[in-house]
Amino acid sequence: MDKQSVAASTILSEWKQIERQLEKLFSERDQKNTKESMEKGINLFLHFLMVSNDTEYINLETIPYESFQYKPVNIVERLEFIQSRPTLFHSYRQLSELMLEQQKLYAKKLIKKSSKPLA
């Protein structure tokens, strides 16, 4: 397993834990702790996005979304919505969808990469 695959696997494992935690927090309507967990989830998504696009995870202020080949549709608008309203259930659902879409795009990337003939 290469470094990128290990990083992606670790991120997705952490996401599963946060996702379960968020489901519980939203069902209990615990907004204070929901915000903290959502921020962790958003950071995990951004980290996964960068790993998926072979980019170093550094400054979150200047993420070059337009240069990414593998990214969900309308990513900037969707992330802005989530980040501006992290305690809404709809934001959680949107973050879950972004993570799922990115997982599919990452899998597509791996398939393309493995099907290329070695030079």
Q: What percent of the chain has pLDDT over 90?
A: 74
- The pLDDT, as a whole number, for residue 119 is 56
pLDDT at 32 over 60: yes
Model confidence pLDDT, tens digit, residues 91-117: 999 999 999 999 999 999 999 988 877
In angstroms, the first-to-last Cα distance of the chain is 21
Q: Give one DSSP letter per residue of 29-92, joined into a string.
A: T-HHHHHHHHHHHHHHHHHHHHHHTT-----GGG--GGG-SS--TTHHHHHHHHHH-TTSHHHH
Give 60-95 pLDDT, tens digit per residue.
677 888 989 999 999 999 999 999 999 999 999 999
Query: CA 32, 90, 12 angle in degrees (round to 5)?
Result: 80
**pLDDT grade for 22, boundaries at 50, 70 and 90:** very high
